[in-house]
């Protein structure tokens, strides 16, 4: 979606709605702000994921992402929030 928007020279704004899942790895009480992404720089991580095989992604999810986030959905939600911010 972000790439699509970048190709629209007349686009003045977009609306992105976040949820509490963005910071779920911090527990149930956070301020309404975006905390650092716990798995590193978001765009770099996405580039790495694009270069991985399906088995490598599954291993990363199991050994890294799911040690921080309760689900891959929560992880992808947080990753997307950081990409939208940039």
DSSP assignment of 14-56:
------GGGGGGG-S---SSPPPPTTS-HHHHHHHHHHS-HHH
pLDDT score, position 18: 64
Q: Residue 58, CB half-sphere, CA atoms under 13 Å: how many?
A: 3
> What band does 67 get if pLDDT is binned at 50, 70 and 90?
very high
State mean pLDDT over 60-79: 90
pLDDT score, position 28: 66
The more confidently predicted of residues 14 and 27 is 14
82 pLDDT exceeds 70?
yes
Summarised one tens digit per residue, pLDDT across range 25-53 is 777 666 667 778 899 998 899 899 999 99
């Amino acid at each position: 979606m972000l790439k699509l928007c970048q190709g629209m020279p007349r686009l003045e704004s977009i609306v992105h709605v976040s949820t509490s899942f963005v910071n779920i790895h911090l527990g149930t009480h956070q301020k309404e702000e975006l905390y650092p992404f716990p798995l590193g720089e978001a765009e770099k991580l996405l580039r790495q994921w694009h270069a991985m095989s399906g088995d490598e992604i599954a291993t990363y999810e199991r050994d890294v992402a799911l040690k921080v986030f309760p689900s891959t959905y929560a992880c992808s939600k947080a990753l997307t929030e950081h990409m939208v911010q940039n």
